[in-house]
Amino acid sequence: MTALLHIDDVSVHFPVRKGLLQKQVGEVRAVEGVTLSLKRGEAFGLVGESGCGKTTLARAVLRLVDPTSGAIWFEGTNISGLKGKALAPYRRKIAAIFQDPFSSLNPRMTSGQILSEVLHVHAYDGSISDRVAELLSICGLAPRFADLYPHEMSGGQRQRVGIARALALDPELIVCDEAVSALDVSIQAQIINLLEELRVKFGLTYLFIGHDLSVVRHLCDRLAVMYLGRIMETGTSEEIFSSPRHPYTQALIDAVPAPDPDGEDARDHVSLAGEIPSPLDPPSGCVFHTRCPIAFPKCATDAPALQALGGHHAASCFAIDQNKKTTDPKVRDVQPQ
């Protein structure tokens, strides 16, 4: 079976211009040579810290930015060069849910109008009002919500409208960019469960962008860890979280405090030194070497390639064989009694 979405060696660079003549003085290499495949029906996570390129990559998939090089294949068609009419069907098939449901919904439109607009624009054949009611109920909102403005709803309700809008045209792929990050803990869990339920019900595929590792692990079958535009490690959630092989992944997992004081006391915390370098001037060789606890001279000169580790697992690190540290067993084995 071919992949639903195949991102093939995609790079996205932004020119940095300065001065009166807007001369190009540099470029931000936001995404650099990323290759990924999403199977139909799976939830794929992209994790990383600010500036790692996860959102830019998602925007490239949504065709909101054009890749500098590489191709984005969707159902066997390269959509990265498509324009106008040829692109329209893919706008229907790929939808998006954004982080902040307050700024991504028009404050002057009711949720009913917001949903009908999408249907109008894409010439939905059928009763628009029926479809709006159906969408609201799919997302757990009573029909009366069609008449409410965004400010009259809570954060969780607004995000449900955002999800209903993404579902309006029966998409195949939904790009969820930090879709639950702005929500309160108790609401976040409701939305996570809703997203899971919808994926199963409609056979959706998710490209889920997040910075919260526990949320991404919970929702996604597979994921990729990005750092400064490049993939550091990729694999199934089990592979990545039970035996992370890249020192960056290991540090990220270490940095997440667990809601369990006993487990936290038993863990040894190694926090990563230093800051994320500027993507304007990324380090030479392996981009992570400036913060890596195990870097050696070669890391500063050569860039490691993604190396297969069996299964879906791959990591780009020269020290991959020395790097078999599993996450602290004392923590991992804490199971409900």
- The contact set with other proteins (CB under 8 A) reads 49-50, 154-157, 184-190, 192-193, 196, 211, 213-215, 217-219, 237, 241, 251-264, 269, 271-273, 275-276, 327, 331-332, 334-337
How far apart CA 46 and CA 227 sit, in angstroms, is 10
69/242 with CB nearer other proteins: 242
The least distance separating other proteins from the CB of residue 121, rounded to whole angstroms, comes to 31
The least distance separating other proteins from the CB of residue 256, rounded to whole angstroms, comes to 6
The least distance separating other proteins from the CB of residue 197, rounded to whole angstroms, comes to 9
Q: Which strands form 69-74's sheet, in the order they lie side by side? A: 23-38, 5-18, 69-74, 77-78
Taking CA atoms, 113 is separated from 57, 88, 148, 171, in Å, by 30, 21, 10, 20
The least distance separating other proteins from the CB of residue 194, rounded to whole angstroms, comes to 9
42/172 with CB nearer other proteins: 42
How far apart CA 93 and CA 72 sit, in angstroms, is 14
138/189 with CB nearer other proteins: 189
Token reading at 165: 């809008």
How far apart CA 158 and CA 140 sit, in angstroms, is 12
130/265 with CB nearer other proteins: 265
Return the beta strands (E) in the chain as ranges: 5-18, 23-38, 43-47, 69-74, 77-78, 94-97, 173-177, 205-210, 222-227, 230-236, 307-308, 314-315
The least distance separating other proteins from the CB of residue 335, rounded to whole angstroms, comes to 8
105/252 with CB nearer other proteins: 252
How far apart CA 70 and CA 66 sit, in angstroms, is 10
